Amino acid sequence: MFLPDKQISKKSMMVYVKDVLHAMPKKVLLPEVEVKKVVSIEEMLDRLISRIENTIKMSFGEFAPKGNTREDRLVVIVGFLAMLELVRQGVIHAIQEIDRGDILLEKREIEIEVKNL
């Protein structure tokens, strides 16, 4: 059996409920933003392969020039990842002669081994 204290009244209960409701965190509505694709790794791989096919040597700075905007920085990051993937695949050879210097990219010549049968 529930026997409320004499201090608990309908009015005091309403005050407590209002206090609890006002103390609850407010739902924050964030503005909707449009997300746009800057560049994909696949697109960057294609760009880098086509550039390296047309030249024997090039610098990474020529391929992905530095910029100040967010999009420019994303292009540099994705371009660097594409370069690493092509080095891993053996398509290009990357050389950095000095610390924090530009990276030179060279097209690797595919050597075909001919075995005598």
Domain tally for the chain?
A: 1
pLDDT computed for residue 13 by the predictor: 87
In angstroms, the CA 115 to CA 117 distance is 6
Give every CB contact of residue 106 below 8 A, 6+ residues apart in sequence. Answer: 56, 57, 92, 93, 94, 95
Residue 25 forms part of a structural domain: no
Other CB atoms within 10 Å distance of the CB of residue 47:
17
Q: Please indicate, yes or no, whether the overall pTM of this predicted structure exceeds 0.85.
A: no
3-30, pLDDT tens digit by residue? Answer: 778 788 888 889 999 999 999 988 888 8
| Residue 56 is assigned to a structural domain of this protein | yes
Most confident listed range (17-26, 29-38, 53-62): 17-26
What CATH code is carried by the domain that includes residue 63?
1.10.10.580
**Domain boundaries, position 65:** 41-107
Position 50 in a domain: yes
In a domain, 74, yes or no: yes
- 77 part of a folded domain: yes
Within a domain: 34:
no
pLDDT of amino acid 23: 92
- Bridge partners (DSSP) of residue 94 are 105
For the segment 61-117, what is each residue's pLDDT rounded down to a tens digit? 777 767 778 878 888 888 888 888 888 888 888 888 888 888 888 887 654 444 444
